[in-house]
Amino acid sequence: MKENIHPKNYRLVVFKDMSNDQTFITRSTVETRETVKWEDGNEYPLYKLEISNLSHPFFTGKMNFVDTAGRIDKFNKRYSKK
């Protein structure tokens, strides 16, 4: 394997699925600005997901209603600041 191709700044990060408010913790290098207190009492970086394996129809086996009209507004609101 090649040397020095993988990031070295892995840390525990909490991922929150915004469509069903479920959270899970895993190691990641994703950059975040928010933090959250986890079940063990420690504070970890928080990364918000639009959809994950906890809510995706392929993994859950059921279809969820997706608000397509609100998606454009969400996109414009999120990226209009930049």
- Per residue in 12-47, pLDDT (tens digit) is 999 988 878 888 899 999 999 999 999 999 999 999
Q: In what order do the strands lie in the sheet with 11-17?
A: 22-28, 11-17, 43-49, 34-37
What pLDDT band is residue 60 in, cutting at 50, 70 and 90? low
Query: Quick one: average pLDDT of 50-59?
Result: 64
The tokens for 18 are: 């915004």
Residue-wise pLDDT tens digits, 68-82: 667 777 778 888 765
* CA–CA separation, 58 and 62 (whole Å): 8
Residue 57 has pLDDT above 60, yes or no: no
Query: Quick one: average pLDDT of 45-60?
Result: 72
Residue 10 has pLDDT above 80, yes or no: yes
pTM for this entry:
0.63
